[in-house]
Structure 1
Amino acid sequence: MPEHAASARDDPTAPPVRYEVREHVAVITISRPAARNALSTQVLRGLSSGLDQAEADRDVRAVVLTGGARIFASGADVRELRATSPADYVQSERLAAWLRFARFPKPSVAAVAGYVLGGGCELAMTCDFVVAADNAVLGQPEIRLGILPGAGGTQRWARVAGRFRAAELVLSGRTIGAWTAQTIGLVSHVVPAECVVEAGIAMARSVAVHSPIAARLAKAALRASEELPLTGGLDHERALLATLLSTEDHVEGIDAFLEKRPARFSGR
């Protein structure tokens, strides 16, 4: 949620987003602890840059977005938001970054802890899996500031939890814990806070062992289900399968199965 303004205690020389690669998994970490990882334009720029890097790297097959074991993201930087006009918002770098997150083609995992509010919750919902620490607090409290979620909070919550539960969260501004979030379908797994990053990486690796092109197209098919009617979605699914039947990975996968050996996928 946009509850926390930027703090002067942040080291201006430290990058607000860190990037590393661990065995086919890119780990992108928000690191702005003094501001409770508020999503400033600089942070969104860093996240977008990290996703660009991960997409361009053929060795990266999945991505983990995290803020560590203590906090994920408390929401937008309210000082920036306070100064944003309607015209600025429509043309802003922030809006472009959110569009980038939603269109990232490789599988992604949000490993969240502590505050997962407002934009932080919306960021998690752009991913394909959410692994939550048992200390996670999730919600869309923007209404407390006289605004509404503007990066997918109204739309994705309704698709995940249903319109009535989404209305309860968005219109009341109340928050929920990790276990409740798992019950309503937002969170895949709940783990101890000190394990959340490694649990997110483990989830990403469980995807990264498979054909990277198959994983990307399967993600595309799943995302299309949010946009297309059933008949159109089935047509899209079949078209993507036909594409995979032309790949080396599909031959390797079937040969490995028949030969009872691990597959060696190349992404071709």
Structure 2
Amino acid sequence: MTEAGVLFEVEGPVARITLNRPARRNAIDGAAAAGLAEALARFEADPDLRVAVLCGAGPVFCAGMDLAAFGAGQVEAVLFGPGGFAGLTEARRTKPLIAAVHGAALAGGCELALACDLIVAEEGSRFGLPEVIRGLVAGAGGALRLASVIPPARAREILLTGRMVDTAEAWELGLIARRAEPGAGLAVALELAREIAANAPLAVAETLRLSRAAEAAQLAALWPENARILRAIMGSEDAQEGARAFLERRAPVWQGR
């Protein structure tokens, strides 16, 4: 185990990293962000580990940032620490990382999946970037990455409405690499990881680097502006109202400031 809320297990050349806060729907707080960053660093540093699978304990993959952590002043640790949100979304990586999604990958949880190199999703899973519904922006890579993975018009429709995408639509859009039956997502992701790990590690690393080169060059120029916008939005009255309305289960009253 690494830090609180994150488990690290090794199965041959494959590392399994588990978000382990099921009572909080694996939402990310400061401790979980530090734990995930530590797990990724451990994976990268071990020459015997070639591929990692990121999964979630309990009924969902990840519900995003823990709103209790937001209210407790952990925004800097969760969103702007080393590696970006949860220590992952802006992390520099050289080895393949697969997201094994089940249940829901919402807000920051969806952004964690998008930050991985491949996504395996169980039937019945839901992906969503509902930040605009809460007065926020998908500033942990969601707004930047989604349109580089799926057609831009479809990405904007999803981002600007905040609606959910199910496994079937995610497959049709090309968002996910493999589908799995309910309950089999982790097994399918681990099998995919073993297939990749069986190949020449240097060739895999360089192929991965080349496949991400265009995105990496584009994002390098955009992350500073992304951070500026995210900080401004997080401090807005509408963001505070969105969080309150969500917790109080009522419709928000937007002020546009």
TM-score, with structure 1 as normaliser: 0.74
Moved more, 188-197 or 200-209: 188-197
Structure 1 residue aligned with 2:8: 19
Offset at residue 44 of structure 1 (A): 1.5
Moved more, 60-69 or 138-147: 60-69
How many angstroms apart in 2 are the aligned matches of 1:77 and 1:94?
18
- Out of 212, 218, 223, the position equivalent to 1:223 is 212
How many angstroms apart in 1 are the aligned matches of 2:25 and 2:58?
12
Structure 1 residue aligned with 2:158: 169
Structure 2 residue aligned with 1:4: none
Letter in 1 for 2:138: P
Is 1:140 the counterpart of 2:129 in the alignment?
Answer: yes
The percentage of counterpart residues that share the same residue type is 36
Structure 2 residue aligned with 1:211: 200
Offset at residue 85 of structure 1 (A): 9.3
**Cα distance change of structure 1 residues 141 and 90 upon mapping to structure 2, 3 Å threshold:** closer
**Cα distance change of structure 1 residues 78 and 206 upon mapping to structure 2, 3 Å threshold:** same
Q: Secondary structure at the match of 1:200?
A: helix
Q: Which runs of 5+ in 1 are unaligned?
A: 1-13, 230-268
TM-score, with structure 2 as normaliser: 0.77
How many angstroms apart in 2 are the aligned matches of 1:59 and 1:122?
28
Structure 1 residue aligned with 2:32: 43
Letter in 2 for 1:138: F
Offset at residue 100 of structure 1 (A): 6.5
How well do the aligned residues superpose, as a CA RMSD in angstroms?
Answer: 2.4
Q: Secondary structure at the match of 1:151?
A: coil
Offset at residue 46 of structure 1 (A): 1.0
Structure 1 residue aligned with 2:48: 59
How many angstroms apart in 1 are the aligned matches of 2:139 and 2:178?
26
Offset at residue 135 of structure 1 (A): 2.1
Offset at residue 137 of structure 1 (A): 0.6
Q: Secondary structure at the match of 2:184?
A: helix
Offset at residue 81 of structure 1 (A): 2.5
Offset at residue 128 of structure 1 (A): 1.2
Offset at residue 102 of structure 1 (A): 3.8
Q: Secondary structure at the match of 1:225?
A: helix
Contact 1:121 1:140 in 2 (8 A): yes
Contact 1:41 1:93 in 2 (8 A): no
Letter in 1 for 2:134: L
How many angstroms apart in 1 are the aligned matches of 2:101 and 2:79?
29
Structure 2 residue aligned with 1:29: 18
Q: Which runs of 5+ in 2 are unaligned?
A: 219-257
Q: Secondary structure at the match of 2:65?
A: coil
Structure 2 residue aligned with 1:108: 97
Contact 2:32 2:86 in 1 (8 A): no
- Out of 178, 189, 202, the position equivalent to 1:189 is 178
Contact 1:75 1:119 in 2 (8 A): yes
**Cα distance change of structure 1 residues 87 and 19 upon mapping to structure 2, 3 Å threshold:** closer
Max Rg structure: 1
**Cα distance change of structure 1 residues 98 and 50 upon mapping to structure 2, 3 Å threshold:** closer
Q: After superposition, what is the alpha-carbon deviation per residue over 1:220-254, rounded to whole angstroms, capped at 9, x for unaligned?
A: 1011032459xxxxxxxxxxxxxxxxxxxxxxxxx
